[in-house]
């Protein structure tokens, strides 16, 4: 099982980059994860691998608790997908063709988050999901 986080734009601020990198290294304790920084929505769409479960972050998406998100990740892992790919759009959102292919449209908040912050929150929740699935104490 592989994980991919693909987002429009780069995280340039050193303190935000350090936070993303910290959570990516934590996730790697459980599964390989790669990060793709795309120039635009078209490049983001090219980062959608076949036979992966696709998760798009969208304001009108489904809101899940951390436990509900962990359960979704656990089911996706058990259903034989090659991996899970998460997509964060830029100021113009995600391409409609990518959104329409999503297995899960996920909302991190009813508030609009900058893509850099959304990436940190997403990475933390992915890490939290794995700790929940393994019964580790982190989620408390």
Identify the pLDDT of residue 113. 87
Residue spans of the domains in the chain: they are 2-133
**Which regions of 39-111 does DSSP assign to beta strands (E)?**
52-62, 83-88, 104-106
Tens of pLDDT, residue by residue over 31-89, are: 999 999 999 999 999 999 988 999 999 999 999 999 999 999 999 999 988 999 999 99
- DSSP assignment of 87-103, as one string? EE-BTTB--HHHHHT-S
% of residues, the chain, pLDDT over 70? 100
Q: Which of 56, 138, 69, 64 is nearest to 101 (CA)?
A: 56
| Residue 62 Cα to chain centre, angstroms | 14
The CA-CA-CA angle for residues 44, 46, 48, to 5°, reads: 85
- Stated length of the chain: 140
Q: For the chain, what is the radius of gyration of the CA atoms?
A: 14
Instruction: Please state, rounded to an integer, the average pLDDT across all residues of the chain.
Output: 95
% of residues, the chain, pLDDT over 90? 89
The strand order across the sheet containing 83-88 reads 33-38, 2-8, 83-88, 52-62, 104-106
Does 112 have pLDDT greater than 90?
no
Does 140 have pLDDT greater than 80?
no
Q: Hey, what CATH class is 2-133 in?
A: alpha beta
What is the pTM (predicted TM-score) of this model? Answer: 0.95
């Amino acid at each position: 099982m592989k994980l991919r986080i693909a987002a429009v734009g780069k995280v340039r601020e050193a303190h935000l980059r350090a936070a993303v990198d910290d959570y990516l290294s934590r996730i790697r304790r459980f599964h390989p994860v790669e990060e793709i920084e795309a120039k635009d929505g078209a490049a983001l769409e090219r980062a959608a691998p076949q036979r992966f479960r696709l998760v798009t972050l969208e304001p009108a998406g489904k809101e899940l608790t951390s436990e509900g998100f962990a359960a979704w990740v656990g089911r996706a892992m058990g259903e034989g997908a090659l991996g899970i790919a998460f997509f964060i759009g830029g100021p113009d959102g995600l391409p409609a063709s990518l959104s329409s292919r999503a297995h899960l449209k996920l909302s991190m908040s009813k508030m609009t988050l900058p893509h850099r912050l959304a990436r940190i929150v997403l990475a933390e929740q992915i890490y939290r999901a794995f700790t929940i699935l393994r019964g580790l104490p982190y989620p408390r």
